[in-house]
Structures are given as C-alpha cells and as structure tokens.
Amino acid sequence: MERKTSKRISLSGDTISIIVFFLILAMVMLVFTLLTDKFLTLENFSKLFKYLSNTALVALGLTFVVVVGHSDMSFHFVSCFAAMTMSFFIGKGLPPIPSILIGLLGGVMYGVLNGIAVGKYKLPDMIATIAIGSVAWGTAYLYSRGNYIYKNFLTSGIINLADGKLYGIPYPVIYLFVFYILAFIVLHRSKYGRRFYATGSNKIAATFSGINIQRYIIVAFALCTFFASFANMLMTAAQGNGNVKGGLVLLMPAYASIFVGISVFKKATVIGTFFGAFLIVMMQNGFTLLNAPFYIMDLIVGATLILAIILSRIEIKRKVKQPSPASGVPGLETGD
C-alpha cells in the first residue's frame, strides 16, 4: 500500500511582503485606470518613466548613504548649487558637456565634505548635512541672486540632455536604467558592495575586518550628491532655465522611495529603491492626470513615507528579537 504524501508550499515573510507590494502596485494601477482613460497609455507611461528618472536617480544615490548607516539632509540643496553652476556656465557660453561636468564636480565636492564631516570627524549626520547643505544653497544664490538664468539655454543644446532620444527612447530613461544596472552590479554583485553593507551593519566589526569605513562613508555621500545633482540638471534642462529652488522638491520622494523599498525587501537595496520610486511617481502621475491639487500629492508622499518607516521599524525590531549567530559578514574578505 502506497503512502500518499502531501507537500505544503510555505512562503517566507520576505516573499509575502514582496507579493503584497506588487498586489498593491497592481491595485493602484487599476484604480487610476478606472478613474481616467489617459493613465494606461503608451504616451503617459513614456512621460511617467521620464519623470521617474528624476526621483529614482536621487533615491539611488541616497540608497548608498542609507546602506552605510547614515542619512543625508543636504542633497536637495546641493543639487540646486550644481544645477545653478551648470546654468551659470551655460549662460557664459560654455558648451553643455563642460558645464555639466563642472556642476557635477561642485555637487560631488559638497558630498565629500559631508562624508569627511560624518565619517572622519564623527559629526551627527543630520546636523552636519543640514549645515553643509545650507552653505551649498546659499552659494547657489551667488550666481544670479536667486533670479532665473535663461541665457543660451535654447541655443546651447543643453535641452537635449532631457529631451533628446536614442532610437525613440528618451535620454533620461536610458540614464535611469544604465545607472541602476551599474549600481546593482556594484552594490549586490561585488566585494566592494558588500563592504558598504558591512560598514552600515557594524562599523566596529567592519574596521576589524580591514575595511576603511571612512572611505566608504565618503564615497556614499559623494554618490548621493552626484546623482542628486545630475537629476536636478535633467530637471533644469527640461525646464529650459536655471532655477535656484528647482531641487527642493527632491527630498521627500527620495526618502519615501527608499523606505518603501526597505519595508518590502527588509533592507536598502537597488531593486527596492527602484520599485519604491516607481510607486511614488505612479501615484503622483495619477493624481496629476486627475487634476488633483498639488498639496494632495505632497500629502500622499508624506503619508507613504510615514507608513513605510513604521513598517521598516517593525521589521527591524522583529529581527533584533531573533537570535543571530555571532559570526562575521559572510563572504567578506579582509583588506581594502
């Protein structure tokens, strides 16, 4: 007599969180599709992904800072400085590429200062980055005293940075996927990326493993301001003028994107940040099509951020209660 055995398919908590997230994503898409026939169209999704590049690129840079266990409250201010630097040199007649590189260099410089202040001198990251960001925003005003910069924007070719296409694909979408693929390889498929996580997980253990944690913290802050600066440059090119306040809208969506990703994937990841940003931007896009007031979008982003933080904190507390082996970081080699 044969004994019949039944197999149960058990899902882990992490898998259930991912499934629930994609169900929520599908439900949101369905709701907007029912409310407006303009939502689920090729034209709208082309615009959605183009706008996604701004939020997602900023969030990508911030992901590195969160991975090393810190926060940055300056990147939106620094992005204003970088974009105004680019606009200033465009107005002086410099070609787009050198203007972009000078602006990015200025943004990265402030990121390095953040990294040195936090990584080397152990200053509180919130206070240090707010202070440095305020300096960056103040210097952004020096270019035009807060006035818009229009000169040479229509003739220099800088607008192609945001409006150009390659085989029908908008440049910002290409930037988005190229940078995300590179970041995924570095952060999740390399020894270098494991050291970022080791630095954020336990700085003392990372130091004894031979990791120069100061270097990784500095690199993380520099990447954060680099991506924020580049994203604001895309916005500036799309608008056709330099605006000293253009990057101030980047702070909340970037943090919301990361913490949505953390609440789903249980840690800061490149994939989690991407889908978190996609959810945020999709909701913003849907409410825009419905002609909702601007404050409704701010309210939704803020509420999403609060909910994501609560869910991520609950998961952290759950993991802390679980017994963990007293072993080092798996797969981590010493030396730097």
Which two three-digit tokens encode residue 130? 């707010």
Higher pLDDT, 222 or 316: 222
320-329 mean pLDDT: 48
- H helix or E strand, kind and range, residue 68: none
Over 70: is that where the pLDDT of 332 sits? no
Query: Residue 260: which residues within 8 A CB-CB, separation 6 or more?
Result: 272, 275, 276, 279, 280, 304, 308
Question: For residue 15, what pLDDT is reported?
Answer: 83
Write the pLDDT tens digit of every residue in 253-289. 999 999 999 988 889 999 999 999 999 999 989 999 9
Exposed, middle or buried by CB within 10 Å (0-12, 13-18, 19+), for 60?
A: buried
Q: How many residues does the chain have?
A: 336
**Local structure of 256: helix, strand or coil:** helix
Question: Do residues 83 and 234 touch, judged by C-beta distance below 8 A?
Answer: no
Q: DSSP strand E in the chain: where?
A: 165-166, 169-170
Predicted confidence band at 75 (pLDDT cuts at 50, 70, 90)? Answer: very high
For residue 267, give the 3-state DSSP assignment: coil
Q: Is the pTM of this model over 0.95?
A: no
What angle, rounded to 10 degrees, do the helices at 270-289 and 13-35 form? 20
**Residue scoring higher pLDDT (293 or 89):** 89
Write the DSSP symbol of residue 2: P
pLDDT score for 12: 61
- Closest by CA to 110, choosing from 152, 81, 85, 71, is 81
pLDDT in tens, 35-66: 999 999 989 998 899 999 999 999 999 999 99
Question: Tokens at residue 28, please?
Answer: 């949101």
Q: Is the pLDDT of residue 334 over 70?
A: no
Mean pLDDT (the chain, rounded):
89
As a whole number of angstroms, the distance between CA 137 and CA 183 comes to 27
DSSP per-residue codes, 243-270? -TTGGGGGHHHHHHHHHHHHHHHSS--H
Q: Does the structure show a pLDDT above 80 at 328?
A: no
Which H/E stretch holds residue 39? none
The region of weakest confidence among 86-90, 99-103, 262-266 is 262-266
- CA 245 – CA 44 distance, rounded (Å): 26
HEC-encoded secondary structure of 290-326: CCCCHHHHHHHHHHHHHHHHHHHHHHHHHHHHCCCCC
- In the predicted model, is pLDDT for residue 117 greater than 80? yes
Q: Hey, is 44 helix, strand or coil? A: helix
- Distance spanning both ends of the chain, measured CA to CA: 62
Domain range summary for the chain, segments of one domain joined by +: 41-249
Q: Among positive and negative, which fits the CA dihedral 274, 277, 279, 284?
A: negative
